[in-house]
Amino acid sequence: MVKQKNSIKIAAVPGDGTGPEVTAEAIKVLQAVASLENFRYEIEEFDYGGDRYLRTGEILPEGAIEKLKGFDAILLGAVGHPDVAPGILEKGLLLELRFQLDQYINLRPVKLYAGVETPLAGKGPEDIDFVVVRENTEDLYCGVGGFLKKNTPDEVATQTAVYTRKGCERCIRWAFEFTKQRNNPEGKRLTLVAKTNVLTFGHDLWYRTFQDVATDYPDVEADYNHVDACCMWMVKNPEYYDVIVTTNMFGDIITDLGAILQGGMGVAAGGNINPEPGGCSMFEPMGGSAPKYTGQNVINPIAAISAVAMLLEQTGYPKAGKRVLDAIQVVTGTKMKSQSAGRMGYSTTEVGDLVVDALAQC
Ligand code: IPM
Ligand code: MN
């Protein structure tokens, strides 16, 4: 499939549970901003997820990856189904797409929007505004390992973290470039978060690569934190951080900490990015499929709408992306009572409508 210029080709995968509800609001906002900003997009919907798996026994049908490669971006709702064992859909859909589409950057902005409550006492939107760049294809996620003497008293299990020079260098380089472009007026700082005092092989490779790449970015402060200390600083002094670059597993953990600092799973969004020319990237709200809220029109669509903002920014429409982000903050700052499902003061569809209305004034 040939990607057309002047039009974004988007594959929507609404997925399970409340995924379709939040995806519908995200697309509603996309449609509104496209007409205001005069760009075109095409959306094709795919029914991948738990229901399809239970019906057909397959998660991604033959040829799905090749087909998806023809899109600029995937907009994902949620994966996770109460009747499917944990791990099956996560590995078979989410991780499969990340690996097969070589989405080697996992971009997680930790931004406290106007009007959103954080559990950190005395901290506000000016303090909580940093970005985590998580490597997305290696480390403990690579699936290398096995059992010996399974289910016996002598059982052995291994799970190997794999790091390659190519894998960490492309991520670190992207993070330096991102930090440079972000151009924080308070100073450009990229913090490598790892555990070089214990992981003296794998994280030594990361550390050396980080130092090497840093020489190409003299205007970016090349900083280092151990991951355990980083967790303390994220809580005590989140304003310290500008951009963090980290390994896949540590990135998974610290971005949930980041998500709660920014108001929780109803707000936090992530991008799985293949930055190479012609790459297909995937954008998703962090919250799960929330089966107990399905179909009630109470789930928070802000994270899914934030995923659209990121999609636009990353696919070459930064002005439109910024406009969506601004509109979101009008709604969180002046309308919504809470970011928790059922306590927003509005329904899911009403929050989507409010963001659409706010776009006009942004
Ligand atoms: C995330 C999620 C996934 C991960 C799970 C669902 C496989 O926690 O996107 O952070 O571990 O990467
Ligand atoms: Mn996670």
Measured by CA distance, the residue closest to atom 2 of ligand 1 is 252
| Helix (H/G/I), strand (E/B), else coil: 329 | helix
Taking only the tens place, the pLDDT of each residue in 20-60 is 999 999 999 999 999 999 999 999 999 999 999 999 999 99
Flag whether pLDDT at 279 surpasses 90: yes
Annotated catalytic residue, options 141, 241, 293, 317: 141
**Closest ligand, as measured to the CA of 16:** 1
219 classed as catalytic: no
Ligand 2 ion: residues within 5 Å (CB): 252
User: Locate tokens 């059922």: which residue?
Assistant: 342
Mutation probe of ligand 1 site: the residue of 91, 103, 137, 252 with most atoms within 8 A of C-beta? 252
Q: What is the mean pLDDT of the chain?
A: 97
- d(Cα 70, Cα 75) in Å, to the nearest integer? 14
The pair phi, psi for residue 325, each rounded to 5°, is -60, -40
Annotated catalytic residue, options 47, 212, 216, 228: 228
Query: What does the pLDDT read at residue 303?
Result: 98
Query: Which of 43, 52, 54, 30 is closest to 22 using CA atoms?
Result: 30
Taking only the tens place, the pLDDT of each residue in 61-84 is 999 999 999 999 999 999 999 999
Flag whether pLDDT at 2 surpasses 50: no
41 classed as catalytic: no
Quote the tokens at residue 35.
Answer: 């007409």
Taking only the tens place, the pLDDT of each residue in 146-178 is 999 999 999 999 999 999 999 999 999 999 999
252 classed as catalytic: yes
335 classed as catalytic: no
Q: What is the mean pLDDT of residues 206-227?
A: 98
Measured in whole angstroms, the distance separating CA 298 from the mean position of its chain's CA atoms is: 22
- d(Cα 95, Cα 142) in Å, to the nearest integer? 10
Determine the atom of ligand 1 nearest the C-alpha atom of 98: 12
- Residue 252 beta carbon below 6 angstroms from any ligand 1 atom: yes
List of long-range contacts for 224-231, beta carbons under 8 Å, 24+ apart: 224/191, 224/192, 224/193, 224/194, 224/196, 225/191, 225/192, 225/193, 226/193, 226/194, 226/195, 226/196, 226/197, 227/193, 227/194, 227/195, 227/253, 227/254, 228/195, 230/191, 230/193, 230/254, 231/257
- Residue 94 beta carbon below 6 angstroms from any ligand 1 atom: yes
Q: What is the mean pLDDT of residues 330-358?
A: 98
139 classed as catalytic: no
Determine the atom of ligand 1 nearest the C-alpha atom of 251: 10
pTM: 0.97
The pair phi, psi for residue 30, each rounded to 5°, is -60, -45
Measured by CA distance, the residue closest to atom 8 of ligand 1 is 252
Determine the atom of ligand 1 nearest the C-alpha atom of 256: 10
Flag whether pLDDT at 6 surpasses 90: no
Flag whether pLDDT at 4 surpasses 70: no
Q: What is the dihedral of CA 226, 230, 236, 238, to 10 degrees?
A: 130
Flag whether pLDDT at 1 surpasses 50: no
Quote the tokens at residue 326.
Answer: 């601004």
User: To the nearest whole percent, how much of the chain has pLDDT over 90?
Assistant: 98
Query: What does the pLDDT read at residue 126?
Result: 97
- Among positive and negative, which fits the CA dihedral 267, 253, 207, 225? positive
Mutation probe of ligand 1 site: the residue of 16, 84, 93, 95 with most atoms within 8 A of C-beta? 95
Calculate how far, in angstroms, residue 303's C-alpha sits from the geometric centre of ligand 2: 14
Query: What does the pLDDT read at residue 5?
Result: 59
- Residue 127 beta carbon below 6 angstroms from any ligand 1 atom: no
